[in-house]
Amino acid sequence: MLVDVLIRDKRVFTSGPVKIGQHSPQTQNEREKVGKKILIVDDDAALVKVLRLSLEREGFDVITALGGAEALRKAYESRPDLVILDIMMPHMDGWTTCQRLREIADMPIIMLTAKGGESDVVRGLDLGADDYITKPCSSEELKARIRALLRRTQSTEQRSWQLTYDDGWLQIDLSRQQVAVDGKPVDLTPTEFRLLSCLVQRNGQVVPHQELLSEVWGPEYSDQVSYLSVYIRYLRQKIERNPSQPTYILTKWGMGYRFAGGEE
């Protein structure tokens, strides 16, 4: 079945023949997706229906909500593996919903919205979204982003970290996924922790932008340098004594970043 869904200001367009009832043999990737729960949050019922059908054909277990309050209730009840979230919704908008979802769990959140300004993207990432997709967007791109986030989350969960760092001010235990500054626990998002882990494991080495993006966000994001600069700023604000004059996460202009733990 060839289906392409384009989302333009909450209008849905499909092209290509839709053949009901035809199923190709499952691939290994498709089998791995079975049982993964995705929560779609949007007040446009027609859009939600199309997205749900598209993702269910991929083997996902899809849950839907037409508003923020309903999304919070269903997220608490079902613990989805990933959330697709619109911004422009009545009563409780996507900004507030994203913040509240982050209080419930650390599941990946994709903001899918017509608000495509740079300030909107930065605000979405600031509030805890893992990805930000602007409409119009093809269904294939959306599914690729979903697969990338789920792979990243799964690999982080399965990884057994054995590295620690402690200089008296900054304490990092990657095996327990714990970070503390001056003895006080630091709350990092999953993305922030993955980024810090990549840098700490290569202590003293410059890690190129593309390598960090591929490892933390997935290979599909290797050119999204703006994502990286935003999260580097978040980390510095949380672990540096003076974020404007960092001593742990240093910039190699035009190349990448390095963790400078233990350097005099």
Q: What is the mean pLDDT of the chain?
A: 81
**pLDDT surpassing 80 at residue 3:** no
**Confidence class for position 34, pLDDT limits 50, 70, 90:** low
The residue among 27 and 121 whose pLDDT is bigger is 121
**Do the first three CATH levels of 4-157 and 161-259 match, i.e. the same topology?**
no
The residues with which 109 forms a beta bridge, in sequence order, are 83
Contacts of 167 (CB under 8 A, 6+ apart): 261, 262
Share of the chain above pLDDT 70, in %: 82
Q: What secondary structure letter does DSSP report for 164?
A: E
Q: Which of 3-7, 186-190, 219-223 has the lowest mean pLDDT?
A: 3-7
Looking at domain 161-259, its CATH class is: mainly alpha
Q: Which of 9-13, 101-105, 114-118 has the lowest mean pLDDT?
A: 9-13
Query: What b/e readout covers 53-89, taking b as 16+ CB neighbours within 10 angstroms?
Result: ebbeebbbbbbbbbbbebbbebbeeeebbbbbbbbeb
Please give the CATH superfamily to which domain 4-157 belongs.
Answer: Response regulator (3.40.50.2300)
**Residue 124's closest CA among 149, 151, 152, 99?**
99
pLDDT of 76: 78
Q: What secondary structure letter does DSSP report for 253?
A: T
Q: Which of 42-46, 91-95, 158-162, 208-212 has the lowest mean pLDDT?
A: 158-162
The string of pLDDT tens digits covering residues 154-200 is 655 544 444 688 889 999 988 778 999 999 999 998 889 989 988 99
Q: Which residue type, as a one-letter code, is found at position 248?
A: Y
Mean pLDDT of 85-111: 88
Domain boundaries, the chain: 4-157, 161-259
pLDDT of 18: 33
Q: 221 burial class (0-12, 13-18, 19+ CB within 10 angstroms)?
A: buried
Four-residue CA torsion sign, 179, 181, 183, 186: negative
Mean pLDDT of 141-158: 78
Residue 152 vs residues 3, 77, 119, 175, 193: alpha-carbon distances, Å: 26, 24, 26, 17, 12
The string of pLDDT tens digits covering residues 60-73 is 999 999 999 899 88
